[in-house]
Structures are given as structure tokens and as C-alpha cells.
Amino acid sequence: MEAAKNHFFSDMGVMLGRSMRHIFRSMDTIFTVCLTPIAMMLLFVYVFGGAIQTGTDNYVNYLLPGILLMAIASGVAYVAYRLFLDKQRGIIERFHSMPIARSAVLWGHVLTSVVSNVISVVVIILVALMMGFRSSAGVLSWLAVAGILVLFTLALTWVAAIAGLTAKTVEGASAFSYPLIFLPFISSAFVPTDSMPTVVRVFAENQPVTSIVEAIRALLSDQPAGNEIWIALAWCLGIMIVAYLFAVRAYKR
Amino acid sequence: MSHAAISVKGLKKSFKEKEVLKGVDFEVRRGEIFALLGSNGAGKTTMVRILATLLEQDGGTAAVNGFDVASKPDQVRRSISLTGQFAAVDEILTGRENLIMIAKLRHLDHPRQVADDLLRRFGLTDAADRKPSTYSGGMRRRLDIALSLVGKPRIIFLDEPTTGLDPEARIEVWKIVKELAGGGTTVFLTTQHLEEAEQLADRIAILHEGRIIAGGTLAELKQLFPQAKVEYVEKQPTLEEIFLAIIGKKEAI
């Protein structure tokens, strides 16, 4: 086992290169994970934005955190899809019958998810800057935002891994992501929760997206993030650890 | 143990209630083509998966290249290569990229050179920069087997290598298998086609209802059957014979 472990990082690097090629050669993936969130952002800012009262003068600033979370949620759906295809087509078996670190196959997919989501988040932020997004945040706040987004990505990626490894059909593998993509709508991502009926508001204020969105929004506008940041971190870490344990169990079977 | 390429003793495996292997014994000698013959569902693939360290047995022992599959899986993986029932090639990478990826995962020194050599050997040079989705069934199989030969493993497992291939592609695969064995590689193949075992195998074992019910060379297997019988069958004359008979009569007159 020793020798196989020594190659863990180079094996994972090969896996990363492979999956990144899959992403860049798939117009469908690029369209869904990057262009769709940008289109949503354009739609909300230039069509609905005028009618939405958020109490700020810059709606792009208000909207951006929610758009980033949506982009990540649609990005991880492809992790499930790629894992499912690898399993179904016998690629995982081929890798597992070779003298490589077995966990490198799964971690390669996870690393790909982080790298590809970082790319789409950066592209979306650049577009937001062109649309008038401005931030007074310092380096530390930006680092904190990056940390929360990476944790959020990892948490959802491990959820996606469970879906990809246990699904029976391609549709089943990515279906888990639909509720994730819709969660931002029932949160403070697009409009403040004050205007919602009580039941919806209670749900919106207590689901993870709201605290993550509020934390990022506070950090980007250089406001004190207060409790929200700890609640956001607790959600991300909690989901990540539970999903990781289930995913690894599914992978070993 | 050291002279046998594969040695299996009393191997057992059940899936839930179903006992698939009920104590399997056989030995594969170095450099030979060994065929495991059995009908669908006889447990051939289960056998291959255990030998390729993808599945753990419930009882008995199996050693590949002198290494126990249960306690020394990493050494076993170093000695073998598996070509599964369905061509496990990456659909999005090109043929060449597929080979380079496997060469990197086997930590070879010159992955590009290895890929070029195998492409040439398997007549895939012209198709090297195309995706396997554009290949014919026979070409995909050739790429699949080429992937298995990266790093020159001592023992190759071919699980139903010609299932789903047209007759021409089947003969091509047979030729490849014979060449492999000619070069000293041990080939373990499973098949449900009697003709395939007859054409290729030095020795054959018949797996039926979880046990090896017969084994040996083709000549030895033939001896298990009753002596060739002499039968008299009434034979209808062919048109040719009728024709010749009539001509002959006329000439006699």
C-alpha cells in the first residue's frame, strides 16, 4: 500500500486534468454552471431589480452572494453526473484494478469541483463588476468570503458524491441538485425576508442559504458579520462532515 | 505457488442469499491462455472481480502472480490488468489521451512514447486524436485492450472480450490475444462461446453452478465424452450425384 500512497497527489492530479478536460469540452456544462447564473443576474438586475425594494441603492451588491451560491449548486450537479458515468461505464473499476491510491479517484472529482467552481465564481464576479458591483471589503474579508464559498462548495460536492455513487439513472444522479438551486429563492438572496408570509419567512430565515448569503453580504460591504458568519460556517461544516461520511461509505461498497 | 500465475483454492462468494461460487479450485500456468467457460450468470465475472481485487471473497484463497489477493492487493494490482465486459474507455478524451492518462497513472517514464507505440501496434494511429465515440465497436475494443497493456502487466484478465462484436472484430481480438500469449503474457479470459475457448485456450475450465465441473486441455476435455460413435444416416442424393448418374447411364447405352 505504501507505494500507492506515495503517488496519491500525482494520481489525483491526473484525475483533475481528466475531469477539467471533460468540463471544458462540454458546452452544456459551461452553459449551465457559468452562463445561466450570469443570465439570472442580468434578469434580476435589469428586469426585476427596479421593482425590488431591498433598502440598498445597489441591487447588484445585494444580489451577488445568492447568484454565487446558485452557480455552485448547479456546478456540483455535474460532479454527481460525472461520478455516475464513471461508475456505470466501468472506469472506476479500471482505475481500482490498477496500482493507484484508490481514494485519488474520488478526491480527483472533489478537487475538480472546487477548481471549476472557483473559475465560475471568478467569472461571475468579473461580470458583476461590469454591472456595477462595488465592494469596500479588505483583503481579510475577501479571504473570509473565499473560505465560506470553498466550504460551501465542498459541502455540496460531498452531497453530490452520494447522489452520483448511489443513483440508478443519470437523471437520478443530478436530480438532487434541483432543490439546492431553488433554495436561494426562498431566502434573503433576492429579496429581504420581511415581506414573506410568516411560515415562508420562518423557513427562509432558518435555512442555510440565508445565513451564508447574509454573512457574505456583510463581509463584502465591510459590515460586522456578527453571528451569521458562525451560523454559516456551522451549516457548511455540518453538511460537509455528514455528507463526507456517507459518500465514503457509498464509495467503498 | 511461485510457478503458477494464478492459483485458486476453495473460493467461495455469496451475494445476500445467493451462493455464486461454492468452492472453486483451479490453477493457471505462466504464459498460457486460460479460458473460464460458463453460461450467463455462472459466476465468471464474480471470479474475475475477485482476482482483480475489486471484490473480496467469503472463503478460500486466491493468489495472483504469487501474491494473495486479500492480503497483498497492491502487489496483485501491479501484476495485472483488467479489461471488463464493457469497453471502459473515457468517451471525452481522445484515444491518445486515454493511453497517456493510464501511462501516467502507472507512473511510467515516457507516457507519450508509450501511447504512440501502442497506437501503432493496434492500428489506431489515424484515429488517435478522435474521441472513442466515433470509433467502431472493434476499434473501441482494441483501444480498451491497448489501455490494459500499458505498463506491460504480467497477467491480463479479459472478461468476455468479444461480446457484442461483429465476426470480423472478433477474429481481430482473437489475433491480439494469441500475440499476447506469444509474447509471454498470461491471459485469463472468460467466455460463453465454446468456439472462442476452442480457438484460443491452452486450457479450459468449465464453471457451472458455482463449481469447476471439468478442466484441462481441449483434447483432455474431449476424452471425457464417450468414444466417437459410428452412425449410419440415410443420405439423400445431391443434384450433382443425380446428374452424374443420369449422364453415366446414357453413356453406358
- Could B84 and A93 be called an inter-chain contact, meaning their C-beta atoms sit closer than 8 Å? yes
Q: Which residue of A has its CA nearest to B53?
A: A97
Sheet of B80-83, strand order: B80-83, B155-159, B186-191, B33-37, B203-208, B211-216
Q: What is the pLDDT of residue B252?
A: 57
pLDDT of residue A73 exceeding 60? yes
Q: Within an 8 Å CB–CB cutoff, is residue B54 touching chain A?
A: yes
Residues of chain B with pLDDT under 70: 1-2, 226-229, 249-253
Give tens-digit pLDDT for B83-94: 887 778 999 999
Nearest CA in chain B to A93: B54
What pLDDT digit, counting tens, does each position of A192-229 carry? Answer: 888 889 889 999 888 999 999 999 999 998 888 788 88
ipTM of this complex prediction, to 2 decimal places? 0.85
What is the reported pLDDT for B1?
45
Q: Which domain holds residue A74?
A: 2-252
- pLDDT tens digits, residue range A119-132? 999 999 999 999 98
Contacts of A96 in chain B (CB under 8 A): 53-54
CA distance B88 to B85: 8
- What average pLDDT does the segment A4-23 reach? 88
Beta strands in B38-118 (DSSP E): 59-64, 67-68, 80-83
CB B94 within 8 A of CB B135: no
Tens of pLDDT, residues A133-177: 999 888 999 999 999 999 999 999 999 999 999 999 988 888 888
Q: How far is CA A46 from CA A132, A207, A213, in A?
A: 12, 28, 21
pTM above 0.90, yes or no: no
- Cβ-defined contacts of B225-228 (< 8 Å, 24+): none
Residue A179 contacts B, CB cutoff 8 Å: no
Question: What torsion, rounded to 10 degrees, do the Cα atoms A18, A20, A22, A26 define?
Answer: -170
Mean pLDDT computed over A27-51:
88
Q: What is the pLDDT of residue A70?
A: 93
Q: Which residues of B73-93 are buried (b: 16+ CB within 10 A; e: fewer)?
A: bbbbbbbbbbbbbbbbbbebb
Residue A199 forms contact with B (CB below 8 Å): no
Looking at the structure of chain A, the number of domains it has is 1
CB-based contact A90 B81, cutoff 8 Å: no
Choosing among 3.40.50.300, 3.40.50.2300, 3.40.50.720, 3.40.1230.10, the CATH entry for B4-252 is 3.40.50.300
The larger pLDDT score, comparing residue A178 to residue B202, is at: B202
Would an 8 Å CB–CB cutoff place B106 in contact with chain A? yes
